[in-house]
Structure 1
Amino acid sequence: MKKNILMVTFVAGCMLISSCASKKDLVNCQTENKELTGKYQDTKDRLAESNAQLAASNARVASLEEQLAESKRAYAALQGSLDKSLSNTSANNLNISKLVDQINESNQYIRHLVEVKTKSDSLNMVLTNNLTRSLSKEEMKEVDVQVLKGVVYISLADNMLYRSGSYEINDRAAETLSKIAKIIMDYKDYDVLVEGNTDNVPISRENIRNNWDLSCLRASSVVQYLQNHYGVDPKRLTAGGRGEYNPITNNNTELGKQRNRRTQIIITPKLDQFMELIEQAPEN
């Protein structure tokens, strides 16, 4: 009996000890499982991140490969252009040489134009000085002298030359015409055109039909005065009239009409006279 009790007690102890050991193992297993589960999730997250980085890297590689291909195409195009440029070097050098020659020719032409302009200005100054040297300040107020391309234009107001409403030369004109005649006589190779001009007011006088007649008669009076009083060769003289059809301003005002009523003496040097005057031109 006592033996049986001891046996039961021993078995119960063994079972108790076995039960305690199994519970501890279970706890250990659960803890280990939890750690492994955490490590698995962490590894899974890192794998996903690595896959994303790999995909981005693959995309960058593809982009770089495309850029490399584009660079190769650009290089090939540049190489082609360089080869073409090198092959055309001789032709380009020849073209540059021709361009330099053209520039030099242009520069020479420009210098020539400047010299001609300088001579022309000097010639105009000589002619102007010669034509105005004898005129007083009062006379210069009613005498307009211009030199254009070697041709001299002397414009005289009608009241300086003619009697009012007439084509007859007045006494006041004698002194001015004598000075102009002296210039004409000094330069015997000049041709002289005397040109009459009027305003647009119709004239009504016996033996004068219109402004054409008046302008021609006034020009004729000056030509004959230069011939008869100062001995100007009539072969050098031409008389002409332009009536009211060559105004220098409008006829809307009295001042405008007065300016249009004028006689122009146009003096044209011939070629040899031009050359003499050029030699006289002052140095700049």
Structure 2
Amino acid sequence: MTNTPLAYTEAGSGPALVFLHGFCESKDVWTDFTKPLVHQFRVIALDLPGHGESPQTDDFSMDSQARQVRETLQTLQVEKCLVVGHSMGGYVAMALADLFPDLLYGLCLFHSSALPDSEEKKENRNKTAAFVQKHGIEKFMDTLVSPLFAESNRASCEAAIQKMQTIGKATPLETILGCLQAMRDRPDRTEVLKNTTLPVFFLVGKEDPAVPLEAILQQCHLPENSMTYFLGHVGHMGMFENTALTRQALLKFAETLYPANAQKYKAANSF
């Protein structure tokens, strides 16, 4: 099936950094985070199927979403990129690494994982779907977003929490239910981590309730070439909870993939 290209924003020039958002999010979660990166990179942020401004799909599986990402990047003439996937976006990034490894210079699992859902997590997905159908999207988003932030950050991140709730409440019910099922049923991709030659960057919130630290410790050593950055006092939303440190960590990883580009930037900005 051929899909309509996904909605996207694009800025800057140089090597491509592609940002994939999470469940009930949109490309807008990356707006402030990526602004400084456009001085060194071609920054592309996509709306995944059924999210933001992207069209609906009849298949929310991670493989199908990955194919739509690839098709969209082909229309943008992106031959190779570093893909950064937050949460569900990381599941899509893992599908890209599995299905289309030649598309990638590397990948960043940004509060994400290659592990499948546990049986308990699968049951929680089912309960969440039932809750949304019974109580509606608005009530669901009011309960979902705040706990994703470390408790110590919730007051200072109130504007970000409100932004996330607004984005989430605009997400169609069809998308929410389709993605819950797709996340529940996604495969174990730890073998992809074991076998890949791609550099992999794990960005980890020590207080992440959605992707626990213990889960990352099970997999961050699996790739041949990997880096892991642990963020203290951060939950699942590092792009908001500690923007500067999170961005700096990602930039350091990107510069290891594109050292010539980093040197060129530093030379151009030296005094």
On whether the aligned pair clears a TM of 0.5, the verdict is no
Larger radius of gyration: 1
More helix by share: 1
